[in-house]
Amino acid sequence: AYIHQIRKIDFENSFQEPGYRLPTQSNIPVGAVVAVFFNFCSFHCTDCWNSETWERDTELYVDNEFAASEIIKALTARKTNPPMGLSLLGGDPILPENILDTCDILRRVLDELPDLVVGIWSGYTWAAIERERVKDTPEGRALDWVVHHIDVVIDGQFNRLRKIDNRRYGSTNQRVINVPKTLDTGKVVQTDSYLAEAKENAERIDIMKNTRLRAKLL
């Protein structure tokens, strides 16, 4: 895989959700995570905060077995309550250029830590993920496996016109999706905490619009 960082303990890039895949996972939202930044992204969102990850950098290559072992070391280095989660971001970890490595690394990590709560950030919308994961290709099959072994996806490209600060996502078009429930129901199920935040965001935007309107009328 091509990875910018492997072992960073991170709060800023925590998806702050509990586990949804297994009854043995903690039902307390994760706080700290190990954040793994994959190299390469073809979306090139305007004003992306991490544009240095866009272009493939062959100097960032690491062996997948080594990457997985480093992630496991970081996840088990200290006891936390709830246990640390794993954030996969970048770049984009599930684009065709990265998905085979992402799948291999995640398999190795989950073999050791099956109750790990996993979240992924991707420029793909859920609809695009659905289209890609049913393809009869190595990349399609790898994506399908990954989707069935994660808890949360933050989907969609960053839109600078809908930027929001201090959230787990960069703009209001992006969603925090409960992946197992979405797979079970066949429709996008957003997490309860995200829906509460979305309502708060909408109310904040309405207040800002009303404030501007009153200022114009004065």
pLDDT tens track, the chain, 218 positions: 999 988 889 898 899 999 999 999 999 999 999 999 999 887 776 776 677 877 889 999 999 999 999 999 999 998 898 999 999 998 999 999 999 999 999 999 999 999 999 999 999 999 999 999 999 999 999 999 999 999 999 999 876 776 777 566 666 788 999 999 999 999 999 998 888 877 776 655 555 555 655 556 56
Domain ranges of the chain: 3-217
What is the C-alpha separation between 4 and 2, in angstroms, rounded?
7
Please state the pTM of the whole predicted model: 0.86
Q: What is the pLDDT of residue 67?
A: 98
Q: How far apart are the first and last CA of the chain?
A: 58
Q: What is the pLDDT of residue 143?
A: 99
Give the containing element (helix H, strand E) for 112: helix 99-112
Q: How far is CA 32 from CA 27, 101, 138, in A?
A: 15, 24, 32
Per-residue tokens: 88: 């996969």
Q: What is the pLDDT of residue 173?
A: 80
